C-alpha cells in the first residue's frame, strides 16, 4: 500500500496538471479569439495532454490503494499581451511542474517507494521535453520580433513543433 505522504504529494501533482490544462485552455481560447489558429490548436492539444497527465496520476494513485482527489480549480488568467507572454508563462509553469515532480521523486526515495519512483520517471522525461519545447518556441518568437510575415509563418507552422525539434 502506498504511504499517505506520497498520496498527498501525488494529489498535489494532480492539481498542478489540472491547473496546467486549464491555463493552456485559456491561452488557446485567447489565441483563437485573436485569429491565431495554429497557436490555438497547439495550445488546445497541450491542454488535452496535461489532462492526460492528470488522469495517469489519478489512475496510478487509485491502483496503488490510495484515493485520488479531484481538485476544484481557480480561474486561470484570461487575457495576454502577446505570444511571448503566453509562452514565457508556459515555460515558467513547466519549470515549476518539473521542480514539484523532482520533490516527489526525492520523497519516493526517502520513503523507499520504488514503484512510485519508477512511475515518476516518465514524468521526469516528459518535463525535460516540455521545457525544451517552450524554450524553442520562445527562441523562435524572439527571432520573429514584430515581423508580421514571420508571425504569420510561425502561426502556420507551430503545429509542426514538437519535443523532437
Contact 73/62 with Cβ under 8 angstroms? Answer: no
CB within 8 A of 3, min separation 6: which ones? 111, 113
**pLDDT tens, position by position, 101-157:** 999 999 999 999 999 999 999 999 999 999 999 999 999 999 999 999 999 999 999
Rounded Cα distance between 113 and 19, Å, is 26
Whether residue 64 has pLDDT greater than 50: yes
pTM, full prediction: 0.92
Residue in the structure block whose three cell numbers are 519516493? 108
Domains defined along the chain, listed by start:
4-71+78-159 (1.20.1260.10)
The cell for 53 is 497527465
Whether residue 162 has pLDDT greater than 80: no
The cell for 20 is 496546467
CB within 8 A of 64, min separation 6: which ones? 1, 2, 115, 116
Contact 73/23 with Cβ under 8 angstroms? Answer: no
Mean of the pLDDT values across residues 44-71? 97
DSSP string of 61-93, one letter each residue = HHHTT--------PPPP---S-HHHHHHHHHHH
Which helix (H) or strand (E) is 134 found in, with range?
helix 114-144
Amino acid at each position: 500500500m502506498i504511504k499517505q505522504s506520497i498520496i498527498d504529494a501525488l494529489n498535489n501533482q494532480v492539481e498542478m496538471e489540472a491547473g496546467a490544462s486549464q491555463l493552456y485552455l485559456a491561452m488557446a481560447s485567447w489565441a483563437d479569439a485573436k485569429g491565431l489558429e495554429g497557436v490555438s490548436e497547439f495550445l488546445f492539444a497541450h491542454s488535452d495532454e496535461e489532462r492526460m497527465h492528470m488522469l495517469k496520476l489519478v489512475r496510478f494513485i487509485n491502483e496503488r490503494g490510495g484515493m485520488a482527489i479531484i481538485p476544484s480549480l481557480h480561474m486561470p488568467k484570461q487575457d495576454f499581451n502577446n505570444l511571448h507572454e503566453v509562452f514565457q508563462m508556459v515555460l515558467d509553469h513547466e519549470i515549476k511542474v518539473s521542480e514539484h515532480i523532482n520533490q516527489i521523486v526525492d520523497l519516493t526515495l526517502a520513503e523507499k517507494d520504488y514503484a512510485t519512483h519508477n512511475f515518476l520517471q516518465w514524468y521526469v522525461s516528459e518535463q525535460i521535453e516540455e521545457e525544451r519545447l517552450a524554450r524553442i518556441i520562445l527562441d523562435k518568437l524572439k527571432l520573429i520580433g514584430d515581423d508580421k510575415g514571420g508571425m504569420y509563418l510561425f502561426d502556420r507552422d507551430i503545429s509542426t513543433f514538437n519535443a523532437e525539434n
